[in-house]
Structure 1
Amino acid sequence: MNEQLNTFIQVAESGSFSKAAEKLFVSPTAVMKQMNLLEKHIGVPLLIRTNHGVELTEAGKSFNKDASLFLQHFQEAVLRIRQGALGSQHVIRVGTSILNPCKVLLDLWNEISDQYPEFKIKIVHFEDDAYTLPATYRTIGKHFDFIVGPYLTEDWEDNLRLLQLGSYRFCFAVSRNHRLASNKTLSVKDLYGEKLAVVNGGKSAVIEGIRNFLTRNHPNIRIKDVPRLYDLDVFNRCEESGVVLLTLDAWADIHPSLVTIPCDLDFTIPYGLLYPLHPSEDVNQFLEIIKEMQSKAQST
């Protein structure tokens, strides 16, 4: 059932057996067989097959709303069973996305993982969608134990904590066709006459400080407030509209048609391990290992 649910979700998203098959690295015939088995098991048609692709029936639309939850609960149940069977082995679930890649943590862990064979890392993907991200961050501790990324808003204080690993610098990103795209560095004054998108989906003292600094000292820059969290759509819209984007140096390679340029803004934002207010014992042990590693690195 796990495989069938995953296949159904891909078919529903793709609207095509062949496209779903490409994502799953199986044949279209295998996808069709899985869907036939799923419909037989449920007892009602979920899909309408046409020459132009696949559409969901009304029952399929209803089922699609719950399929992801079914799959998630199933995977979590399997994880709990495996953890119980493994006894002393601890699985640490790390969330990852395009804007919040977990490579920083993996690079750290790979240096010392041989010393702690009882810990295993499980990567859990999530989407960078400004409308679902607030809920995603609130589920840290449920669906995954950590997210590795910048601490973008003080609104998170009620739900999570940060083990800081470092800081990111703010930069400006422009379309490759923009007049400033060939610059190696940018001064704030280079943006005079430009529109600057400032993303702030919550209470961020750092981002608000940047906004106030620019408004007070550089009124020739037109500030476009974007009251949401950073997501891929923000990068797409700035590239399409020619608006300059206030971004982070860590996101230099996010969008192939945007150029991220260092600037003279003297502002940074902390990044690190975002974890729940009340972490499990396994997570606490893992945190202590990372803290000890940091301490040793600072003392050398």
Structure 2
Amino acid sequence: MHPSVPFMATWNQIKAAPLTVTQLSGEAASSNREYAMLGQECDIMIGTFDQATTRQLVVAVPLGAYHFGIAVTSDHPLAHHFRLALNDLAGQRLLMVPRGISEKNDQLRDAIETAAPDVIIEGTRGRYNLDVFNRAADQNLALLNLTP
């Protein structure tokens, strides 16, 4: 769930050395599990981590920027919306990562809980994996996501 495309575009420009891309193992529910792998199982990592989360753990180089979005199935009541306001989510169940994984996610959760308390926020076990996407699709839930 950590896209390598932004990094590969940068790497192809510098072509400093051969590169092997590997899948990181580990439990999605553990907090900041990847950082423990740096220097052990991997030397460079790409992911959607905000600077507030990483600044005390690693030196991060931004390769791009993302915006929050809401993913829904094509038959979801919000599927026809191009843009959503918080009150559009009223009464909807919204999947989000739990607190403590990302400061930006935590700030958005606070804003939703304050401005739209009737949104039903459901936390995932940790960062997103295929089970989270399947749950959103199977239960027709809105899913907070990032759009590059």
Amino acid at match of 1:106: M
Question: Which residue of structure 2 aligns with residue 173 of structure 1?
Answer: 71
> Which structure 1 residue ranges, 4+ long, deviate > 6 Å from structure 2?
none
Q: Percent identity?
A: 26
Amino acid at match of 2:85: S
| Residue 112 (str. 1) matches residue 14 (str. 2) | yes
Listed one character per residue, the Cα deviations across residues 138-193 of structure 1 (whole Å, up to 9, x for unaligned) are 11111111111111585655542311122210000112221222322322222111
Amino acid at match of 1:139: M
Question: Which residue of structure 1 aligns with residue 103 of structure 2?
Answer: 205
Count matched residues.
148
Instruction: Structure 2 unaligned segments of length 5 or more: list them.
Output: none
- Once residues 210 and 235 of structure 1 are traced to their aligned partners in structure 2, the CA distance between those partners, rounded to angstroms, is 20
- Once residues 240 and 181 of structure 1 are traced to their aligned partners in structure 2, the CA distance between those partners, rounded to angstroms, is 15
| Residue 230 (str. 1) matches residue 128 (str. 2) | yes
- Once residues 131 and 50 of structure 2 are traced to their aligned partners in structure 1, the CA distance between those partners, rounded to angstroms, is 17
- Once residues 211 and 228 of structure 1 are traced to their aligned partners in structure 2, the CA distance between those partners, rounded to angstroms, is 15
| Residue 221 (str. 1) matches residue 119 (str. 2) | yes
Question: Which residue of structure 2 aligns with residue 295 of structure 1?
Answer: none
Report matched runs for 1:241-260 at 5 Å.
241-250=139-148
**What's the TM-score once normalised by structure 2's chain length?**
0.83
Are 1:152 and 1:204, in contact at CA under 8 Å, matched by a contact in 2?
A: yes
Q: Secondary structure at the match of 1:123?
A: coil
Change (3 A) 1:131 1:199: closer
- Once residues 132 and 26 of structure 2 are traced to their aligned partners in structure 1, the CA distance between those partners, rounded to angstroms, is 10
Are 1:105 and 1:148, in contact at CA under 8 Å, matched by a contact in 2?
A: yes
Change (3 A) 1:192 1:132: closer
Instruction: Structure 1 unaligned segments of length 5 or more: list them.
Output: 1-98, 251-300
- Bigger strand fraction: 1
| Residue 151 (str. 1) matches residue 49 (str. 2) | yes
Q: Secondary structure at the match of 1:163?
A: coil
Question: Which residue of structure 1 aligns with residue 94 of structure 2?
Answer: 196
- Once residues 128 and 201 of structure 1 are traced to their aligned partners in structure 2, the CA distance between those partners, rounded to angstroms, is 19
| Residue 123 (str. 1) matches residue 25 (str. 2) | no
| Residue 100 (str. 1) matches residue 6 (str. 2) | no
- Once residues 67 and 86 of structure 2 are traced to their aligned partners in structure 1, the CA distance between those partners, rounded to angstroms, is 14
Listed one character per residue, the Cα deviations across residues 107-144 of structure 1 (whole Å, up to 9, x for unaligned) are 1222232xx4xx22121122585146743331111111
User: CA-atom RMSD, angstroms?
Assistant: 2.5
